[in-house]
Amino acid sequence: MAPSARHRTPPTVTLSGSALADSPLLTDGSLDAVAVPVAPGREGDEGLAAGSGTAQAAARYGIDLAELAERSGLTGAAGESSVVQLPRPVGSAVALPWTDLPPRIVLVGVGQGSDTDLRRAGAALARASRGWRAVATTLGDDDHAASSDVARSTRALVEGYLLAAYAQPSGAHKDAVKAAAELVLLGRDGGRAGAAVVAARTAASATWLVRDLANTPSGVKNPAWVADQARRLATRAGVSVEVLGPRELAAQGFGGILAVGSGSASTPRLVVARYTPPQPAAHHVVVVGKGITYDTGGLSIKPRESMVPMKTDMAGAAVALATVLGAAHSGSVHRVTAVLPLAENQVGAASYRPDDVVRVYGGTTVEVQNTDAEGRMVLADALAYADAVLDPDVLIDVATLTGAATLGLGRGHAALYGTDDDLVRALTAAGQATGELAWPMPLSAEYQDSLRSDVADVRQTARDKHMGGGSVFAALFLQRFVGTRRWAHLDVAGTARATADAHEVTAGATGYGARLLLQYLADLS
Ligand code: BES
Ligand code: MN
Ligand code: ZN
């Protein structure tokens, strides 16, 4: 795949100070549609409540939009939409009031107007407007909304729009995006609304990057390819980048990455990308991301069907990269370092084996039980390296680590572990703010005994196969390599991938984690 095909331009978002009631944009022929909100009636009320701009649109078009919304079966729930196609008259005998106006009105449900609601409304508008050139809207400028802060609601709306507009780079509509190419925000100019649009674009671009990298087939994205993408993107963003190849990895003792990569014809890499703010940094946050470019399971090979989605097993590494790039783009006050251990877990003549003892970075030995538990092997190297060399104030890893995380929590929440309550609270809050939810899980000390080995410093998996708690044991294993750092671990096996579009989440790689971590950085003081 040509690298250029991977970087489609997200829709343009422009601000227009003019209000819907008198905006000249509506009659200059540039718009395909006008979108206005509908909300559920206030408590006790029957029917729908009109949102900001709906009355003006009704007046300009000469159409009872509230009645039309009811007749279309709308309830005002966030994420609903209905496109009203306006007829053009035949001949000149009839003059319709909307002759000079955009030929469609989109009614969009905004629910109670919360950030989540407005992200959903933005996503619904994106899907409704696919294929159009431009749509103008009062959405997000809603005086009916629970959050009357226009900057917040504008950001949520635009973020939802841009996230839902994402289209996978392969397939028939290679370069199309799934939304109108331009979104015009009415009644808002410059200032705080402008900053909100920039913030939404930074967040959505980070997610788009993760989705693009994780959706790329593994025939293309071997470890060297991902390292090249990281080098190219980091250099462009003014982020310094260092790539270690197999020789350097061996010289420095990265035995976990090398063991996992040993079965593949594509050799492993370790990428370290560093953003340093111009002013003295407040904190140094290191983000480590699991970067298995394909996970066959190795000699402990996966069942046929479980292997299919494993091109996304490097989503954590993509999140780490997108976070450091996003921090640079938004001029974060924190130092941010991304560490990407990249390897392909393959079946080969040189594959590592169950019952091998592997010496990881820093000298800890690991008794291998299952070559399909490869994520923790590469993370052991990367976390031990981060602890020993990078001196982080906060160390966070993101990994599609265990199917067990999905068993417990489903696909709506990542499993979140941490050695520091404030850090866990801050990440949970960032998840709630962005809609990338995470649920705190216990680092049960009583379970640690089960990772004791007779032949190495630690066992790779729990001694008793019937204990359950696979995600907890993986986290406890990782904890062995973080020293005394403030550390958190996000097991994103369930959230990194989706089988269908749902609001701002798109089918395939979801990009989960990049917006959460950028929000965490923005809130960190
Ligand atoms: N990459 C998988 C985890 C995974 C499973 C991610 C399903 C997304 C969807 C990981 O490397 C793995 O194979 N984990 C094993 C661990 C086990 C061998 C201890 C698992 O979950 O079965
Ligand atoms: Mn695996
Ligand atoms: Zn894996």
| Residue 85 belongs to a domain | yes
Q: Respond yes or no: is residue 188 known to be catalytic.
A: no
**Ligand 2 centre distance from Cα of residue 323 (Å):** 24
Residues within 5 Å of ion ligand 2, judged at the Cβ atom? 295, 372, 374
pLDDT tens per residue across span 150-161: 999 999 999 999
Together in a domain, 138 and 228: no
pLDDT tens per residue across span 386-442: 999 999 999 999 999 999 999 999 999 999 999 999 999 999 999 999 999 999 999
Total residue length of the chain: 525
| Residue 425 belongs to a domain | no
Q: How many CB atoms lie within 10 A of CB 342?
A: 32
| Residue 405 belongs to a domain | no
Q: Respond yes or no: is residue 302 known to be catalytic.
A: yes
Together in a domain, 314 and 194: no
* Angstrom distance (rounded) from CA 399 to CA 401: 5
Together in a domain, 222 and 100: no
Together in a domain, 149 and 221: no
Together in a domain, 193 and 262: no
Together in a domain, 170 and 127: yes
Together in a domain, 84 and 163: yes
Those residues whose C-beta lies under 8 Å from the C-beta of residue 388, and which sit 6 or more positions away, are 361, 362, 483
pLDDT tens per residue across span 208-266: 999 999 999 999 999 999 999 999 999 999 999 999 999 999 999 999 999 999 999 99
Query: Domain end: 132, 165, 200, which one?
Result: 200
Ligand 1 close to Cβ of residue 323 (< 6 A): no
Count: domains in the chain: 2
| Residue 400 belongs to a domain | no
Query: Domain end: 200, 230, 249, which one?
Result: 200
Question: Which residue from 300, 314, 402, 478 has its CB within 8 A of the most atoms of ligand 1, so it is best to mutate?
Answer: 402
Together in a domain, 278 and 180: no
**Ligand 1 atom 7: the closest Cα is on which residue?**
403
Ligand 1 close to Cβ of residue 371 (< 6 A): no
CATH number at residue 138: 3.40.220.10
Together in a domain, 159 and 248: no
The domain of 228 spans 216-395+432-523
- Exactly one of 221, 376, 459, 485 is catalytic; name it: 376
Among the atoms of ligand 1, which is closest to the Cα of residue 306?
7
pLDDT tens per residue across span 505-514: 999 999 999 9
Together in a domain, 239 and 335: yes
Name the nearest CA neighbour of 119 among 439, 399, 519: 519
| Residue 514 belongs to a domain | yes
Specify which residues 414 forms β-bridges with.
438
pLDDT band at 170 (very low <50, low <70, confident <90, very high): low
Strands (E) in 245-334, as ranges, are 269-275, 284-289, 291-295
Q: How many CB atoms lie within 10 A of CB 370?
A: 14
Together in a domain, 122 and 76: yes
Together in a domain, 358 and 494: yes
| Residue 8 belongs to a domain | no
